[in-house]
Structure 1
């Protein structure tokens, strides 16, 4: 004979916690709607009984899965890691669970993950990249779930058409700020180091215009790997030391290769900012404590995440008025790696 006990039910939790079944359901699905004391009693009962909610049954009753999907380009990017953390916390407070998929900047992988996610009856979808393969775009346009694209505002000569709401910043403006800063600091041969894709092409266009307006020259551009890595910066400085790259100011479109470049300059005896000015993108914590400290373009990751949670909750509640686009902006933070040249 089996000695296994029957799984605990919602009513078992309600009885142990001394509340109604409806209160238990509310405490688990919408914790903000019950008092902290009630929530703690329910959570204690859940732990003691080992209760696992039947999500399928709940979905039949409420019409919701309680799951928000997020397709992220790479979880190794510290900016995105911060965004994911704040998203998860905010969605949890609203009673949702976050399901994460990593595309590694592959449109093919994005399409596969999207099909898998849509089969789970999501309540909402977050995309951390605004450029999609045609077949993926068709899937996204056909879905009726709330959808938010992060990071990339629609811009350029022919702006892309968003498939949902957008929370992000201008890549063009971020690149222009970096180029303008290097010129104003006295660098006369600025260079751009980033991947060749839609968003970084926009950053380059902004960078190029700022350099052309300030110096009347075409800036050097060299492409790095699609997933930013510290080794990208190491390779750039090794080539710079061999005389293969002619520049006196460098804008890296991610702080990780910028830090790799900074450390390699120190190892090879290249003086920063005198011989080479270095600017990054993302303003990671290491940028502030590096020696010399790293100039970087700051993106407000927490603001992006919080705005996304607010918009998703508005849409899921069925609010009739909501913002189609939220521009969180960006800010160039000047530090020692690009000090003014005399």
Structure 2
């Protein structure tokens, strides 16, 4: 009983006894049978996290903070990458639920009907990251939500380009529900500010630095006409910025470039990149707090948690002279 207590609730055992047990565990190479323990306690100590992509630096930072926070709460995190595919999310969710999760984190708010049915049947705490329900037909959250308004983020970028004097702003992103919300906000800001329909050009579903390279190469060939660009990810924006430099294109004089995510490279690029910042650390910490509260039955907390976003204006969109 003392050994069991030392392994499951070490704070209840004296330091001397705990040290002796930990030494015996190391010498014997003992690994507790968590599956058997879960049958008794109905707790696995494992939280699943289905992430769209682990290559995105913002999400990588979020994952790191989630891991640290959950570890302090005595929980372990199992990570799966969906690559922005709702169908892949469904397949991974089936595999994850077989491991008797204590809770689930979803880094995307749009799901297949099968995923929704699985979540309803699982009856475990769920927190969705990044996307607040909004738009003409807002989605119904499957759990608590920690995120920001994609519409407002797009509108801020569009308004900023208009205010800086750009006459032909363009939107560069990919085609999905939350990108469409950013586009709607961006478009409204441009239409109201300039009375024109902005260009929308779809890039790859997994944002990559090469997307920005391809956009500027098409601009150089005269295939795309714009003077201010909003990329919905900093990596394509950086690719565009570097390609402008290689082609002798003045940024921000000839082209203004704005990104999304405010990665560290945005601050050290030359010229420094204007970007929309989402507080990843606040997203992760709030998620840990809400999830652990539910797992420990300490309350539910707010269902919708808006962390907001902020446009950080830098040299790449400096105000143009009239």
Q: TM-score, normalised by structure 1?
A: 0.89
In the TM superposition, 1:99-118 aligns within 5 A as 99-118=78-97
- Match among 315, 327, 331 for residue 294 of structure 2: 315
Flag as ranges the 4+ runs of structure 1 deviating above 6 A. Answer: 33-42
Task: Indicate the larger mover: 45-54 or 201-210.
Answer: 45-54
> Would you say 1:186 and 2:165 are equivalent positions?
yes
Q: Could you tell me how far apart the structure 1 residues matched to 2:115 and 2:270 are?
A: 44
Q: What runs of 5+ residues in structure 1 fail to find an aligned partner?
A: 1-9, 15-20
> 1:158 Cα shift?
0.8
> Would you say 1:150 and 2:129 are equivalent positions?
yes
- Match among 13, 26, 30 for residue 9 of structure 2: 26
Q: Could you tell me how far apart the structure 2 residues matched to 1:293 and 1:321 are?
A: 41
Q: Deviations over 1:151-210 (max 9, x none)?
A: 000000111111111010000000011001111111111000000100000000000111
> Would you say 1:83 and 2:66 are equivalent positions?
no
- Match among 84, 93, 104 for residue 72 of structure 2: 93
RMSD: 2.0
> Would you say 1:259 and 2:238 are equivalent positions?
yes
SS at match of 1:203: helix
> Would you say 1:129 and 2:108 are equivalent positions?
yes
Q: Could you tell me how far apart the structure 2 residues matched to 1:155 and 1:40 are?
A: 53
Q: Could you tell me how far apart the structure 2 residues matched to 1:219 and 1:39 are?
A: 66
Q: Could you tell me how far apart the structure 1 residues matched to 2:74 and 2:17 are?
A: 15
Size of the alignment, in residue pairs?
Answer: 321
- Match among 289, 308, 322 for residue 329 of structure 1: 308
Query: Which residue in the other structure is 1:6 paired with?
Result: none
SS at match of 1:110: helix
Q: Could you tell me how far apart the structure 1 residues matched to 2:30 and 2:152 are?
A: 51
Change (3 A) 1:315 1:269: same
Q: What runs of 5+ residues in structure 2 fail to find an aligned partner?
A: none
> 1:50 Cα shift?
2.8
Q: Could you tell me how far apart the structure 2 residues matched to 1:182 and 1:99 are?
A: 41
SS at match of 1:51: coil
> 1:142 Cα shift?
2.5
Q: TM-score, normalised by structure 2?
A: 0.95
Q: Could you tell me how far apart the structure 1 residues matched to 2:16 and 2:179 are?
A: 49
> 1:105 Cα shift?
1.0
Query: Which residue in the other structure is 1:202 paired with?
Result: 181
Q: Deviations over 1:254-287 (max 9, x none)?
A: 0010000001011111111101000000000100
Q: Could you tell me how far apart the structure 2 residues matched to 1:249 and 1:315 are?
A: 45
Contact 2:290 2:300 in 1 (8 A): no
